[in-house]
Structure 1
Amino acid sequence: MNKNLFWLIALLFTLSFGFMSCAEDTTVEDPYANWGDRNVRYLDSIADVARANEIPELNEVGKWVIKRNYKISNGSSLNPGLGGSSVGSNPFETPPSVNDSVYMKVLEVGEGSNRISPLYTDTVSVYYRGKLINGTVFDQNYTGDLNTEVHVPTHFALQAKQSSGVFGDGLIVGWITALQYMKEGDRVELYIPAALGYGTQGQSSIPANSVLIFDLKLEKVIHPDGLESYSLKVD
């Protein structure tokens, strides 16, 4: 009897220890722990790859194009906490940093010789999916694999109107910078530093200090006064 009692106690102890171990093993770690530092390291690694495979224009699949923040290129200043880098009267007195530019990996090059890039006052028709460095999708206008015959693009105006670092139809500086160098039909994997995204404030499901990653396809450029007017402005 005593022997049976001993084995019963031993069995119960073993089971309770096993349950405790399982509970410890299933502890969920914070997916956003050390988020700022992780994003800094991630962006540094992307910048290194982009520089090693850089070409000047989006004309070769698999290569990278790096474009500096269009607001800096225009000599403007931005609040670094609201989606931009603060610069002086001459922005090129300060060497570019990893946070000043967007990084575009070419996924598709559009077809045709009459493709155009959007002007500052144009509207764009795009397909997009945005995610964080941990793979969390925070916004998209299609699901699954992109099918332009099934999925419907979204229209955004590029006309800038600053409001908490967001421009036009809610576009961030990184988007506007990238789109002005894309042509109709181009598709890129776009990496936007936090400074050109939602900065130190974050936005809804996007934590502060987040690098933003977009699969972005420029379907069409819609010029308010038609292509003839577009040609006159470009020339």
Structure 2
Amino acid sequence: MRRLAGLLVVPLLLLSTAACGGDDKGSDSASMKNGLPAITAGEKFGEKPTLSKGEGDPPKELKVNVISEGKGAVTKKGDALQVNYLGQAWDSDKPFDNSFDRGQPFDLTLGAGQVIKGWDQGLEGQKVGSRIEIGIPPELGYGAQGQGDIKPNATLVFVVDILKAVTIPKSATGTPVAQEDKDLPKVGTNTDGKAPSLTVPKTDPPTKLVSNYVLESKGEPVKATDTVVVNYVAALWKDGKVFDSTYTTGKPANFPLPQLTLKGLKDGLVGKKIGSRVLIVAPPSEAFGDQEKQGIPKNSTLVFAVDILTKM
């Protein structure tokens, strides 16, 4: 996401940059297994692992070890994945990040560039329920610039448990709902995967949150604890100008609702059915109030057309 990225709390590790890769053998020793650092404790799927320090030269290309193979579906580009992970640098025996301690799995869309390239490549083609270990050279990680505690040109090692994979529909579907209020924006009802039209009327905006179906599906209602995968168009009421859209990149966004800080957007999604298209109008009190945020003027009423594609 461009401007709405600031509405989420995202683990530092998985903010991506970098380039491409393959496979290499590395060196084996008592603390190594198939060319990658050995898991010294917590080897089973679901357990928090510990890793030994890498020995010898790190792999120059992407290397993936399957620690234990699951029995679920094979992951593919475009799937919404939920994983647990632990990561550390090749030359360290201390992790720089892990989701096990947070007690909150991490959600991503595979191949959408939401994570470092070594993740997108290493996770593709693996079975749900698998634990894998990935060795990632710098050009598939954070390269020469590094990231936070990760040094420049660091080779990274991850243990990843693949918890879930969901195929993401291209569009919301369902029964069109009449949009009869002339004082509210109108949203297109196309289901071809392209951005719906969004037309804002030249009237005063509502002073309370609006959350209306445009297309109503028969899916289950969204809960406040869910992570939903969405496509959206976001505009300013004042002039109808679109300030953000997932359709420009062709990549849906993951919204972990407990971490979504824009109250009107979160409240507008909760209770709506998975698979539906929703119009949400968030007045300033439900948006950014009297604060300018990421180029959005203060006291702005925000308008969203959101396809709730699936949930994790």
Bin for the TM-score computed over the shorter chain: 0.3 to 0.5
Greater length-normalized contact order (CA 8 Å, ≥ 6 residues apart) = 1
The structure with more helix, counted as a fraction of residues: 1
TM-score, length of structure 1 as denominator length = 0.46
TM-score, length of structure 2 as denominator length = 0.35
The structure with more strand, counted as a fraction of residues: 2
